[in-house]
Amino acid sequence: MKLDAKIPKGPLEEKWSNYKKTARIVNPANRKKLNVIVVGTGLAGSSLAASLGELGYNIKSFCFQDSPRRAHSVAAQGGVNAAKNYKNDGDSVYRMFVDTLKGGDFRAREANVYRMAECSLNLIDQAVAQGVPFGREYGGYLNNRSFGGVQVSRTFYARGQTGQQLLLGAYQALMRQENKKTVTMYSSHEILDIVIVDNQAKGVIARNLETGKIEKHAADAVVLATGGFGKIYYLSTLAMGCNGSAIWRAHKKGAYFASPSWTQIHPTSLPQSGDYQSKLTLMSESLRNDGRIWVPLKENETREANNIPEEERDYYLERRYPAFGNLAPRDISSRAAKERIDAGFGVGPLKNAVYLDFSKSIKEQGKDKIAEKYGNLFTMYEKITGINAYKEPMKISPAAHFSMGGLWVDYELMTTIPGLFAIGEANFADHGANRLGANSLLQACVDGYFIAPYTIANYLAGELTKEKTTTDHPAFEQAASQAEQKLVSLLAIKGNKTVDYFHKKLGKLLYDNCGLARNKAGLEYAIEEIKHLSEEFYTDVCIPGDLNSMNSELEKAGRVADYLEIAILMCYDALTREESCGAHFREEYQTPDGEAQRNDELYQFISAWEFPGNTKEEPILNKEELSFEYLQPTIRSYK
């Protein structure tokens, strides 16, 4: 298949306007005749379902949680970016476009990145109108702070709860539409498959997680807003329920999967404290505005942090990246931390952390000012660790976090399956090989509120005159039968190892060989080991319970089965890209001073992987060549 990104004609700053001028629309009387399924109720899914409901479409909204409020968007704490230039420090839509494209190491489409920056202006006004309590200055103006990879203040925040507050705004809008009967909510439902009829997405197969019942749902279009798959590493900043199953099952039905190996390791997580943990806690990147990161100059230091004098501390980010210092981008900051830890300068009981120190900021600004900006984060840190970070430094460590990769989508956010859209972190579209902090909430919101309502309408306008597909179509029965058989076969294995056993082994394999750093030998080793682990899974996994009732182990088993397949594709993707870019750091391709070394001549493209038909064959690589008309790729330096 030739990949057509459908990028509109015209100058960069006019492309989105030109698209909206020429896009087909559906008149209000006809919207009530059209049905859309939206899977996921995080910021992307809730905002889209609410927006389409407000327009008058019939929406079915699905989430596997018991309430949309439990979506993982709440964990994005630090802020949301917008190029408002309220600080009058030189920000603009174009500067935000440059920062984002550069931050992604020139592995994203110019048109998509510019559109996200352009739409950021509207988002803040929308959120304020919804009642999101952004931080304000004394005079009442909205306040900003800075995030990694930029030299301006464009991040709007609600203390350390920005994602939660934005999600509450979207949730209220969603519940308003449910009350108006334009949205029907299906909580505690997991999507088992996408139904394809005449090469178009026409519905989903879902399982009611409370009763075990398998259900069929038809629609004129399907939208996946199911987030990222960073939980594949087992220990990550994501909640246990986060998974990649919906997008993976869409991939196996024909949707191309783009850049799966581009997964972000966040630099400010709490370090692992033992094998008993199932997740790691994210400390907001916003802390790097006022916290200084350092390690002792002495290897295997045993003194407490406050007993180490200033001249015996290595502020390594400030030393290596003086222009950006502690606000260097996430991929660079994480690799720098790992390098210091691996070299023997790590701190904490397991020597697997670095210090994040607020003593200088507290001395200059006062404790009350720091508490005003980050108080809930300090409270959370003390609750977890027992340490008062106002009195001694926090300990932080890199952890798996965000998926830049996801389903390949065109400019309209539609996958290679007509009628199947992917928004937010479920797609690959806006961040390239590395996401800048506070752009995740931004992408999720603008996809749902401002972009997908236009692009989906453009598609639905062509569906009005077509005969409606119902759940009586044989494709629904076939998909439901296959989905049920998959669950039955998992329950029938009757092995003696838990699902978590396989997930932990997979996570360690990936973190060691396809994590912060990768190399050819390690990736080839990982592919073979994951294949062996997958064989063991299908003979030795033990899943108690039955199909026709609540069964959390069965849910986990299905997700880990998908992870085992996603993991192999991640390693293939990393193996075939013989360069370093953003979060993809191949040890064979680095500069003499240890920085990522791109190869624009051979690898200036998006890897879009096609499912070969079965898991025994190698995936098929398709390429979307990237061209840069407005910003030529340069060496990505933060020094």
Residue-wise pLDDT for 315-361, tens only, equals 999 999 999 999 999 999 999 999 999 999 999 999 999 999 999 99
Q: Residue for token digits 């008062």?
A: 388
Average pLDDT over residues 33-59: 98
State the catalytic residue, choosing from 95, 249, 320, 330.
Answer: 330
Q: Is the pLDDT of residue 1 over 80?
A: no
Is 330 annotated as catalytic? yes
Amino acid at residue number 79: G
**C-alpha pair distances (Å), 121 with each of 43, 47, 54, 544, 547:** 17, 17, 21, 51, 48
Neighbours of 181 (CB within 10 A): 9
Q: Label residue 617 left, alpha or beta by phi (over 0 means left) and psi (-120 to 50 means alpha).
A: beta
Q: Residue for token digits 């039905």?
A: 253
Q: Are strands 200-208 and 214-218 parallel, antiparallel or unpaired?
A: antiparallel
Residue 416 in 3-state DSSP?
coil
Cβ atoms of 199 and 417 within 8 Å: the answer is yes
CATH 3.90.700.10 fits 268-399, yes or no: yes
Question: Mean pLDDT in the chain?
Answer: 96
Sign of CA dihedral 527, 529, 531, 534: negative
Amino acid at residue number 390: Y
Average pLDDT over residues 420-434: 97
Residue 406 in 3-state DSSP?
strand
**Is residue 174 packed enough to be buried (19+ CB in 10 Å), middle (13-18) or exposed (0-12)?**
buried
Average pLDDT over residues 545-573: 97
In the chain, where are the structural domains located? 268-399, 474-605
**C-alpha pair distances (Å), 223 with each of 115, 116, 208:** 20, 19, 19
Average pLDDT over residues 280-298: 94
Q: Do domains 268-399 and 474-605 have the same CATH topology?
A: no
Q: Is the pLDDT of residue 15 over 80?
A: yes
Share above pLDDT 70 across residues of the chain, in percent, rounded to a whole number: 100
Average pLDDT over residues 454-471: 97
Range 360-370 burial, b when 16+ CB lie within 10 A, else e:
ebbeeeeeeeb
Q: Given this model, what pLDDT does residue 637 score? A: 83
pTM over 0.85: yes
For the domain spanning 474-605, the CATH number is: 1.20.58.100
Instruction: Please choose, from the candidates 450, 538, 525, the residue with its C-alpha nearest in 3D space to the C-alpha of residue 118.
Output: 450
Over residues 359-392, the pLDDT tens digits come to 999 999 999 999 998 998 999 999 999 999 999 9
Q: Is the pLDDT of residue 91 over 80?
A: yes
Q: Is the pLDDT of residue 189 over 80?
A: yes
Q: Is the pLDDT of residue 582 over 80?
A: yes
Share above pLDDT 90 across residues of the chain, in percent, rounded to a whole number: 94
